[in-house]
Amino acid sequence: MRNKTASLLLVFLPLFLFSAVLEVGAAKSFRTIKQALSAAKSGDSIVVQPGIYREGTMDLEKPVTLIGVGRPVIDGELNGEIFTFRSDWIVLKGFKIINSGRDEIRSVAAVHVYSTSNSVIEDNIFENNYFGIYVQRGYRILINNNKITSARSISQEGSGDGIHLLGSRDIWVKNNYISGHKDGIYLEKNLRCYVYHNLSRDNLRYGLHFMFSNDSVYTSNVFDNNGAGVAVMYAMNVSMYNNRFINNWGDGVYGLLLKEISYSKIQNNSFEGNTTGIFADGATKIDFYNNSFANNGWALKINANCMENRIFRNNFVNNTFDVSTNGSVVMNEFRHNYWDKYEGYDLDKDKKGDIPFHPLSLYSVLVEQNPSVMLLFRSFLIDMLDRTEKIIPSLTPESFVDEQPAMKPFKT
């Protein structure tokens, strides 16, 4: 243990043994941040006093710590990137960073991380930038407690993402507020990323967008009133725990889209007030456990190309349709869920219904085939058809069944 401690000290001592503190602004040693960066040595800290700094793009090419006192404003004047990370072990903390340039090809960002490791972006305010934070081939980066907002564009084409991760590993995105961007958080071709306790609200496309990002976790986040909540696409081994997907309304809008993903877990999440809670297409071997679906149009749309999924111990309450599908073959397992539409009984008092429940209504099948049938919603004819279908099934798959429905909702 003593040898291991000594090795760690040898790693960190060269960086911090001879570090100095350089001060910028308010009659301090340096008038500009660029002057301080030029004079700084590896491991130095630069303390920036309150004020407005307009210095163009600042390339951080050595291990330094930049700390803002009293929230100094770094104004990019709508021209190019503001900070670029081109070294390991950089810390950026306490600034208000505004008005980056815009370039769709170069993905211009207020803070652009290039092939950097072991760096921190924390406690900053980002306003009116194209991309807020862009991490490209990063490793072990912490993005924590930042407020990232933009009101630049009302179209997706005119806006970048709040936080964009590309080709990176072991990135932690924690405690951030993101609003007004195209995607709140976008993960593309990453590995082992952790997205925790963020609020992603009022973004134009997705609150969170996964593409080809395996072995990742997102937990305890809120996705509220985005163009759509979350899209997880072409990925494996993604864990989704304790998130809230709320108020994602509109034609073809969902709380969570699962597209061609496998071997993942969706547990203890809340889906409330969405057009569709979860839309699954090509999802395989997913565990849906202990989730709450309430006040949605469709709680769960699960296409016929979804196989070997397990839907256990979930609550379905006050949804227009609990379940919908586009096929007649069911290769998924429903067991011991609570359905508020269940009208069965429990004579042996084991808290499980004595007769199976078929959650797929005839009406939902008809709507899936012909959306205009929604005009007959809550009509006497539809009620009669649904009840007849439960007695003598003809169009709904008999295997689409919960054999042991719960009599009371679970605590989630």
pLDDT classification of 366: cutoffs 50, 70, 90: low
Checking if the pLDDT of 370 tops 70, the result is no
Residue 14's pLDDT is 42
Measured distance CA(142)–CA(117) in Å, rounded: 10
Using DSSP bridges, classify how beta strands 163-166 and 131-136 pair: parallel, antiparallel or unpaired. Answer: parallel
Residue 373's pLDDT is 55
Helix axes 362-369, 380-391, angle to 10 degrees: 120
**Angle CA(329)–CA(332)–CA(338) in degrees, nearest 5?**
120
> CB-based contacts of 214: which residues, under 8 Å, 6+ apart?
191, 235, 236, 237, 238
Measured distance CA(133)–CA(171) in Å, rounded: 12
* 394 vs 361 pLDDT, higher one: 361
Residue 66 near residue 91, CB atoms below 8 Å: yes
Checking if the pLDDT of 185 tops 70, the result is yes
Strand partners, 174: 144, 196
Token duo for residue 149: 């907002």
pLDDT classification of 395: cutoffs 50, 70, 90: low
The percentage of the chain sitting over the pLDDT mark of 90, rounded to a whole number, equals 70
Residue 2 belongs to what H/E stretch?
helix 2-16
| Average pLDDT of every residue of the chain | 88
Q: Mean pLDDT throughout 148-163?
A: 80
Q: Mean pLDDT throughout 291-320?
A: 95
By three-state DSSP, how is residue 283 classified? Answer: coil
Residue 163 near residue 132, CB atoms below 8 Å: yes
* 76 vs 10 pLDDT, higher one: 76
pLDDT per residue as tens digits for the range 93-143: 999 999 999 887 788 999 999 999 999 999 999 999 999 999 999 999 999
pLDDT classification of 156: cutoffs 50, 70, 90: low
pLDDT per residue as tens digits for the range 233-265: 999 999 999 999 999 988 889 999 999 999 999
pLDDT per residue as tens digits for the range 38-85: 999 999 999 999 999 999 999 999 999 999 999 999 999 999 999 999
The residue type found at 219 is T
Residue 99's pLDDT is 96
pLDDT classification of 331: cutoffs 50, 70, 90: confident
Token duo for residue 24: 């910028």
Residue 82's pLDDT is 97
By three-state DSSP, how is residue 324 classified? Answer: strand
Residue 344's pLDDT is 87
Residue 407's pLDDT is 92
Residue 7's pLDDT is 38
Residue 310 near residue 337, CB atoms below 8 Å: no
Residue 234 near residue 266, CB atoms below 8 Å: no
Least reliable range by pLDDT among 131-140, 304-313, 363-372: 363-372
**Angle CA(100)–CA(98)–CA(225) in degrees, nearest 5?**
95
Residue 110 near residue 97, CB atoms below 8 Å: yes
Question: Which span out of 104-108, 150-154, 275-279, 344-348 was modeled with the highest average pLDDT?
Answer: 275-279
